């Protein structure tokens, strides 16, 4: 009985004080192998863009990576470290402004949890037949910018705001002959350059940069026309009434009257209300037209109406 009481007391003591056994082994995470890379080779530089996954295979977020770039012989031997960087984002862009062929780049590193990152290998060939440098032009049609080129082949197109200093290494599109860019804003400046390109797997060989074309986008798109145009003769006057469109940049309206086969503008100042009174009508048929106009001076299609005065 005494032994039983002593054993029970000992167990209770261990439970209340806690038992320190061997520490649990650290949890091992696995870095995914689905690493995307694009290697861009230009006559004056090499760009390597690597997109790493944002989670370990086990599901935990990858928060920080320490990367090292090595430049080696084509056999990927006799390497020399040329850059070291700690990044938090998943995209890493490396640029070597001194292009030489028959070399190899190695990107190595580890995460903040000291998990090794799979090595990225980029072998740069010796390019002798570079794509032809293109020439491009630009024009605005309504609120769309059209970039054209007579250069044969497939071109990569790069875009930046006029106030930005550099172009992204990622082209906005590939095109041949013509590309229409509707992703622009009024009163904003945009610049474009293009490069002729040929691709070999992950390798993109690009020509020298084309001429740069820039444009400040102005509003060239006309507002919607008026609707439900009505003419009423009363007390010796013609009353024109209409419904205004809902365009956000609508500024007002212009009224015309046909005289001797020509349309004559009746209001010198823009009308801000959807109504106009003409006190100088004539007997017979009076023909009118009304347009909408926006803040940039773009005028809509005309809407016509006739009224006969006895």
CATH 2.60.40.10 fits 136-216, yes or no: yes
For 233-286, the pLDDT digits (tens) are 999 999 999 999 999 989 999 999 999 999 999 999 999 999 999 999 889 999
Residue 25: its pLDDT value, please? Answer: 58
Give, in order, the Cα–Cα distances in Å from 51 to each of 28, 46, 83, 110.
23, 17, 17, 15
Average pLDDT over every residue of 84-108: 90
Residues carrying CATH 2.60.40.10, the chain: 36-124, 136-216, 227-309
The secondary structure of residue 299, as a DSSP letter, is: B
Domain 36-124 carries which CATH code?
A: 2.60.40.10
CATH code that applies to domain 227-309: 2.60.40.10
Q: What is the mean predicted confidence (pLDDT) over 53-66?
A: 92
Question: pLDDT tens for residues 25-55?
Answer: 566 789 999 999 999 999 999 999 999 999 9
**What pLDDT is attached to residue 20?**
56
Q: Given this model, what pLDDT does residue 9 score? A: 55
CA distance 69 to 85: 9
Q: What are phi and psi of 63, to 5 degrees?
A: -100, -25
Q: Residue 79, exposed/middle/buried by CB under 10 A (0-12, 13-18, 19+)?
A: middle
Residue 176 and residue 99 in contact, taking contact as beta carbons nearer than 8 Å: no
For residue 128, pLDDT over 60 is answered with yes
Q: What value does the mean pLDDT take over residues 97-123?
A: 91
pTM of the predicted structure, to 2 decimals: 0.70
Query: Strand runs (DSSP E) across 151-300, as ranges?
Result: 155-161, 173-175, 178-181, 189-200, 203-206, 213-216, 227-234, 237-243, 250-259, 262-265, 275-278, 284-294
In the chain, which ranges are continuous DSSP H helix? Answer: 2-17
pLDDT-based confidence at residue 150 (cuts at 50, 70, 90):
very high
Q: How far is residue 134's CA from residue 193's CA, in Å, rounded to a whole number?
A: 9
Q: Are 221 and 293 in contact (CB under 8 A)?
A: no
pLDDT for 29 equals 87
What is the Cα–Cα distance from 290 to 276, expressed in whole angstroms? 10
């Amino acid at each position: 009985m005494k032994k039983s009481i002593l054993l029970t007391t000992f167990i209770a003591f261990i439970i209340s004080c806690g038992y320190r056994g061997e520490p649990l082994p650290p949890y091992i995470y696995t870095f995914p192998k689905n690493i995307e890379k694009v290697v861009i080779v230009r006559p004056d530089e090499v760009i390597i863009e690597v997109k790493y996954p944002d989670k370990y295979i086990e599901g935990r977020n990858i928060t920080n990576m320490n990367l090292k770039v090595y430049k080696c012989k084509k056999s990927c031997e006799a390497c020399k470290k040329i850059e070291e960087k700690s990044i938090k984002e998943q995209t890493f862009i490396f640029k070597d402004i001194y292009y030489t062929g028959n070399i190899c780049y190695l990107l190595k590193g580890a995460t903040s949890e000291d998990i090794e990152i799979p090595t990225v290998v980029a072998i740069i060939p010796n390019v002798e037949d570079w794509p032809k440098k293109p020439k491009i032009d630009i024009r605005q049609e309504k609120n769309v910018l059209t970039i054209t080129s007579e250069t044969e082949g497939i071109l990569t197109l790069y875009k930046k705001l006029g106030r930005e200093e550099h172009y992204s290494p990622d082209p906005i599109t590939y095109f041949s002959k013509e590309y229409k860019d509707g992703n622009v804003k009024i009163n904003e400046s945009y610049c474009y350059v293009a490069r002729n390109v040929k691709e070999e797997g992950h390798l993109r060989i690009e020509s020298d940069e084309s001429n740069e074309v820039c444009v400040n986008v102005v509003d060239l798109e006309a507002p919607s026309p008026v609707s439900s145009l009505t003419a009423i003769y009363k007390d010796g006057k013609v009353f024109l009434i209409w419904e205004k469109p809902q365009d956000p940049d609508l500024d007002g309206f212009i009224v015309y009257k046909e005289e001797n086969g020509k349309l004559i503008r009746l209001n010198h100042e823009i009308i801000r209300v959807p109504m106009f009174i003409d006190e100088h009508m004539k007997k017979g048929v009076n023909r009118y037209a009304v347009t909408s106009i926006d803040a940039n001076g773009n005028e809509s299609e005309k809407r016509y109406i006739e009224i006969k005065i006895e």
